[in-house]
Amino acid sequence: MDLGLRDKVAVIMGGTSGVGLKAAEMFLQEGAKVAVCGRNQERLDKACNHLLQFGSADRIYAGTCNVTNKQDVDAFMNGTAGALGGIDILVNAAGHSVMGYFFDITDEQWQEQIQLKYFAVIYAIRAAHPYLVKQGGGRIININATLAKEPERHMVATAATRAGLLNLSKTLSQELAPDNILVNSVSLGLIRTDQWERRRLQNAPNVEPDMYYGDLAKKRNIPLGRVGEPEEVASVILFLASRQASYVSGSTIETAGALGKAL
């Protein structure tokens, strides 16, 4: 099926690892151009080398950028538009979660989650908006988590800020509709990415990955019986960016193996 992504420019905030990197790879395979960013230069270089298997250098733009820093975000977005000839799709995938109960989470951790889940998205959308308008419209895809609707006490700061982002995404789908910009969310459960690999290496370095993730799926009662893979999220991102999703806005697609119970 032709997704209509040929020569579209997809900007992926946090595209050097996990679902962001997989989405970048799949956008290139569909003939799109991609921009990826992250804070760490080494990871960025590695990601670029990986992406060169799927598209030529003139179709890839990469830059170090801390998504919580407005100047960084503006510079990255302007650099992308200059190098790739505009912006059609924005994917907000940068971030990580924080484990901790209410009385354990420090002010700094709250601030960090608020910066990541609100301001990073606000900065990116403000910076991309003029370019999306110039193209006659576009797509914004915010990566979220089932936690947004189903808070868990041990992840209080991430859950609360995720809920706010889901609410913001809905408002923006209405606010930006006159500009023909469609705004949607992808709500993740447990996906096997570097974020989880870091936890595995920290907590159970000697356990075989397949066994670790199998146990994790059992412990978390994931109805499909396994954790998800990055390409299973990236496929949903590409669908939301595709011409087939031209009337989908303000929605959330749960990509969590039936984990969430919220309607």
Ligand X SMILES: NC(=O)c1ccc[n+]([C@@H]2O[C@H](COP(=O)([O-])OP(=O)(O)OC[C@H]3O[C@@H](n4cnc5c(N)ncnc54)[C@H](OP(=O)(O)O)[C@@H]3O)[C@@H](O)[C@H]2O)c1
Chain contacts with ligand X (rule: CB under 6 A) = 14-20, 37-40, 43, 65-68, 93-97, 143, 145, 188, 190-191, 193-196
> Smallest distance from the beta carbon of 16 to ligand X, in angstroms?
4
Q: Please, which residue, 16 or 80, has the CB nearer to ligand X? A: 16
Determine whether 161 is exposed, middle or buried from the number of CB atoms within 10 Å of its CB (0-12, 13-18, 19+). Answer: buried
Contact indicator for 113, 98 with CB cutoff of 8 Å: yes
- Residue with CB nearest ligand X? 18
Kindly list the distances between the CA atom of residue 252 and the CA atoms of 12, 40, 44, 256, in Å, as whole numbers in the listed order: 18, 30, 29, 12
Q: Please, which residue, 67 or 253, has the CB nearer to ligand X? A: 67
> Smallest distance from the beta carbon of 25 to ligand X, in angstroms?
13
> Smallest distance from the beta carbon of 22 to ligand X, in angstroms?
8
Residue type, 192: R
Q: How far is residue 258's CA from residue 59's CA, in Å, rounded to a whole number?
A: 36
> Smallest distance from the beta carbon of 90 to ligand X, in angstroms?
14
Q: Please, which residue, 177 or 207, has the CB nearer to ligand X? A: 207
Q: How far is residue 23's CA from residue 43's CA, in Å, rounded to a whole number?
A: 16
Q: Please, which residue, 153 or 247, has the CB nearer to ligand X? A: 153
